[in-house]
Amino acid sequence: MVSHAQANQQTLVKLLVVACAMFGFGFAMVPFYRVLCDALGLNSVLKPDLPPVNTQVDTGRFLTIEFDANLRSNLPWTFTPVEKSVRIHPGALTQVTFEVRNRSDRRVTGQAIPSFGPQLAGRYFKKLDCFCFTQQTLAPGEARRMPVVFVVEPGLPQDVNTVTLSYTFFEVEGKAGKDS
Amino acid sequence: MEAAHAHHGHGDHAHHPYGIMRWITTTNHKDIGTLYLVFSLTMFFIGGLLAMGIRLELLEPGMQFWRPEFFNQLTSMHGLIMVFGAIMPAFVGFANWQVPMMIGAPDMAFARMNNWSFWLLPVGATLLVASFFVPGGATAAGWTIYAPLSTQMGPGMDLAIFALHIMGASSIMGSINIITTILNMRAPGMTLMKMPLFVWTWLITAYLLIAVMPVLAGAVTMLLTDRHFGTNFFNAAGGGDPVLFQHVFWFFGHPEVYIMILPGFGIVSQVVPTFSRKPLFGYSSMVYATASIAILSFIVWAHHMFTVGMPAVAQLFFMYATMLIAVPTGVKVFNWIATMWKGSLTFETPMLFACGFIFVFSMGGFTGLVLAITPVDIQLQDTYYVVAHFHYVLVAGSLFALFAGVYFWIPKWTGHMYDELLGKWHFWLSMIFFNITFFPMHFTGLAGLPRRVPDYNMQFADFNFISSIGSFGFGLSQLILVYVVVKCIRGAGEKVSDKVWEGAHGLEWTLPSPPPYHTFETPPVVK
Ligand code: HEM
Ligand SMILES: [Cu+2]
């Protein structure tokens, strides 16, 4: 029986090691996922896009680009697009402005996340400059006008005539909010 | 480690305490098996009650009974309780009772740890159930607790996270115990390829559990730190990504669904040969099929995520890998049917449930195949078609296998035959009401009814009404099971022989019925 107990202990230790390794594996999926997404060019909405190679403006076609601005529930800001929508040609470099104001009496840092409707338009929507590429920190009461510079590639499927660019500002907690 | 805790005062096997203390301190595999089974039956009824709440709201279109938030709590908690409280512990209960008796071992390898693994469960379950009563109520993020929903909810979500940690720890400990017992404590002559299939399926399941429960623990830990400690694993604003949660969750989640079915395959593989009076057809192919299902289950997880915007190559890969799993599954179904072929069949309740299992589980397998086709799944994702699929494999699969196992072994465990007539009623009512409940969901799903929504368009009214009526019938039918089990335990019903079933083979049937408290203290020799 003693040898039995010893063999059991050994198996126990081995299996515990496997369990701990798998706990680590769960966390290892995080950097692995990042690397994979970067390598495959997925999920790059927060980085400037390369200007499109074919910058020919398709003057024969009009697109309506609508702008939408949202705040995640507890962020004490106001956030609005200056232009509600613009009518442009595919391939034309366009600049629009968003306004944001901190309504609270503390410093708050926020990060905007863009999304597109229809979703597939995102692939043809090239942002060359955007306030979403960096976090925005606003002092109490501070207001800011922020540009977005973009080109919609002429390759956008013909049946898409309206694209909505929607931003949601999230508070980045534990940053400016706490140290002031 | 074992020894250190044995002299806590109540170690000695010969004079175990009586009354409640016996159950709290027990290290006997049969006692612990009973505890697991009673616990899971209780959770089965709690989870069932929540399901009745869901179907009550869905009986008619419009909002009648609950606020929408509470409806979502019902669906989420129903799933969590059934998966982690009912199905998984029930199979562990079977492992505790049966594995030592089937391989000729005196007890589980780590008897004290066995006691802990059980008693963690009521703690986790209490946290889970208590979360209904905290501000904001229980988690309403679905049993899949997807971020970012789950990073936003109230304290009920934290309780669910702790409950998952605790129940996960319990499963890991239980699995370590099962693997060690099977690997090190088999009777002389009981080679691996002579082990009963139930033991084989549990060995493989236990490995799956050890591989993926820690991943779930990691995922919910990340949720917890995102919620309270300023990390940004899943928070888009901080550079995280909610889709990452889905990948980590399903890396656990898909093997998890096989964790819930493989021991069921094992039970059916014991029952079918017994009532066909023939050895199992293709024993070794069964073992290999089980192992290949387990291995493949690690590379198919993203079939739950076809709509998150994966590259087409990835979608294709996961589609084909998923379809591949149907092959070993098909091998199993084929073998069960071949076992019955030209056997002298009788249809006692365990066999009825096993046949019901084979039939209805296969239908669930087919809808799984349909869902595996990416372009089809993009239409069907998050509709009632998926709900129909997984209830066909989980209720008519895992649960019916558990029922088959209960009727099969309860005469051995209690020494008394169950009430055959009531058993048959239980089977037929369950089978009929199950199909009344879930078959219409294929149609509503195909027509686009989304899951986890408390209200629906008028066009779905008739099918939902039928589903709800069926579910009430199914729920009520389960009371028969309780009655039958209680009758057996109280010693009503004729006394049974050691062998119980004419066609039974295996070490457990060489023991008296009921088996004495300690069995196989001197190992039997298997030829
Ligand atoms: C032939 C074998 C199987 C195949 C091909 C298969 C395929 C699939 C697919 C593609 C989905 C995703 C559907 C969607 O969300 O759009 C799914 C969902 C699901 N399957 Fe299966 N499946 C199989 C067997 C099983 C078994 C044996 C179980 C459990 C006993 C199971 C349990 C589930 C569950 C619980 C879900 C839904 C998870 C959720 O979203 O909440 N499946 N299955
Ligand atoms: Cu799956």
Residue ranges per structural domain of chain B: 27-260
What is the residue type of B385?
A: Y
Q: Quickly tell me which residue has 């944001």 as its tokens.
A: A100
* Element of type H or E holding B179: helix B155-184
- Decide if B211 touches A, using CB distance below 8 A: yes
What digits encode the pLDDT tens for the residues B360-391? 999 999 999 999 999 999 999 999 999 999 99
Q: Which residues line ligand 1 (CB under 6 A)?
A: B 144, 257, 260-261, 303-304, 322, 325-326, 329, 365, 368-369, 371-372, 377, 380-381, 386, 389-390, 393-394, 397-398
What digits encode the pLDDT tens for the residues B191-233? 999 999 999 999 999 999 999 999 999 999 999 999 999 888 9
Residue B152 is predicted with a pLDDT of 86
**Torsional class of A88: left (φ above 0), alpha (ψ -120 to 50), beta (otherwise):** beta
Mutate: best of A1, A3, A6, A8, partner B, most B CBs <10 A:
A8
Q: Nearest-CA neighbor of A166 among A94, A80, A38, A86?
A: A80
- Please, which residues bridge with residue A109 across strands? A137
Residue B239 is predicted with a pLDDT of 75
User: What is the rounded distance in angstroms from the CA atom of residue B352 to the CA atom of residue B401?
Assistant: 10
Residue A100 has phi, psi (to 5 degrees) of -140, 145
* Mean pLDDT score, A119-148: 89
**CB within 8 Å of B135: residues ≥ 6 apart:** B154, B155
User: What is the rounded distance in angstroms from the CA atom of residue A62 to the CA atom of residue A94?
Assistant: 13
Is there a contact between B314 and A36 (Cβ–Cβ < 8 Å)?
Answer: no
Between these two residues, A37 and B133, which has the higher pLDDT value?
B133
Between these two residues, A111 and B161, which has the higher pLDDT value?
B161
Q: Active-site positions of B?
A: 78, 107, 143, 170-171, 254, 256, 258, 269, 303-304, 329, 332, 451
Which chain A residues are closer than 8 Å to B251 by Cβ?
Answer: 26, 29
Residue A56 is predicted with a pLDDT of 80
Quickly count: other Cβ atoms within 10 Å of residue A70's Cβ: 15
Residue A174 is predicted with a pLDDT of 58
pLDDT classification of B11: cutoffs 50, 70, 90: very low
Average pLDDT, chain B: 93
The model carries a pTM of 0.87
Ligand minimally distant from the alpha carbon of residue B251 = 2
* Residue B142 DSSP label: T
Residue B10 is predicted with a pLDDT of 41
Which of B131-135, B240-244, B273-277, B317-321 is predicted least confidently? B240-244
**CB within 8 Å of A39: residues ≥ 6 apart:** none
Is there a contact between A9 and B3 (Cβ–Cβ < 8 Å)?
Answer: no
pLDDT classification of A52: cutoffs 50, 70, 90: low
* B41 has a pLDDT exceeding 50: yes
User: What is the rounded distance in angstroms from the CA atom of residue B276 to the CA atom of residue B282?
Assistant: 14
Which chain B residues are closer than 8 Å to A27 by Cβ?
Answer: 218, 222
Separation of B251 CA from ligand 2 center, angstroms? Answer: 9
What digits encode the pLDDT tens for the residues B407-465? 999 999 999 999 999 999 999 999 999 999 999 999 999 999 999 999 999 999 999 99
Indicate if ipTM > 0.95: no
* Mean pLDDT score, B498-520: 93
Residue A179 is predicted with a pLDDT of 36
Is there a contact between A67 and A81 (Cβ–Cβ < 8 Å)?
Answer: yes
**Torsional class of B500: left (φ above 0), alpha (ψ -120 to 50), beta (otherwise):** left
* Mean pLDDT score, B57-81: 95
Of residues A4, A29, A42, nearest to B184 (C-beta): A4
Q: Are strands A162-171 and A63-71 parallel, antiparallel or unpaired?
A: parallel
User: What is the rounded distance in angstroms from the CA atom of residue A89 to the CA atom of residue A83?
Assistant: 17
Could you tell me the fold of the domain covering A63-171?
Ctag/Cox11 (Pfam 04442) (2.60.370)
* Mean pLDDT score, B352-358: 97
* Residue A41 DSSP label: T
**CB within 8 Å of B233: residues ≥ 6 apart:** A30, B147, B222, B223, B225, B226, B240, B244, B245
Residue A44 is predicted with a pLDDT of 66
| Cβ contact A22–B183 (<8 Å) | no
Residue B1 is predicted with a pLDDT of 37
pLDDT classification of B71: cutoffs 50, 70, 90: very high
Residue A75 is predicted with a pLDDT of 84
Q: Rank A74-78, A156-160, B10-14, B472-476 by mean pLDDT and report only the highest.
A: B472-476
pLDDT classification of A58: cutoffs 50, 70, 90: confident
User: What is the rounded distance in angstroms from the CA atom of residue B372 to the CA atom of residue B300?
Assistant: 10
Domain covering B27-260 assigned CATH 1.20.210.10 in the classification = yes
Is there a contact between A98 and A132 (Cβ–Cβ < 8 Å)?
Answer: no
Neighbour order of strands in the sheet with A136-138: A85-88, A63-71, A162-171, A108-117, A136-138
Residue B165 is predicted with a pLDDT of 97
Extents of the domains making up chain A? 1-50, 63-171
- Decide if B153 touches A, using CB distance below 8 A: no
Q: Rounded to 5, what percent of chain A is helix, strand, coil?
A: 30, 35, 35
- Decide if A2 touches B, using CB distance below 8 A: no
Nearest atom of ligand 1 to the alpha carbon of B83: 35
Residues with C-beta atoms within 5 A of ion ligand 2: B 254
Q: Closest chain A residue to B234 measured between Cα atoms?
A: A30
Q: Are strands A162-171 and A77-81 parallel, antiparallel or unpaired?
A: unpaired
Quickly count: other Cβ atoms within 10 Å of residue B190's Cβ: 22
- Please, which residues bridge with residue A138 across strands? A108
What is the residue type of B33?
A: G
* B55 has a pLDDT exceeding 50: yes
Q: Are strands A85-88 and A63-71 parallel, antiparallel or unpaired?
A: antiparallel
| Cβ contact B215–A22 (<8 Å) | yes
* B254 has a pLDDT exceeding 80: yes
| Cβ contact A111–B247 (<8 Å) | no
HSE at residue A121, side-chain half, CA atoms within 13 A, is 23
User: What is the rounded distance in angstroms from the CA atom of residue B99 to the CA atom of residue B196?
Assistant: 9
* Mean pLDDT score, A22-31: 94
Range 235-254 of B in CB contact (< 8 A) with A = 235-239, 241, 243-244, 247-248, 251
Classify A144 as helix, strand or coil.
Answer: strand
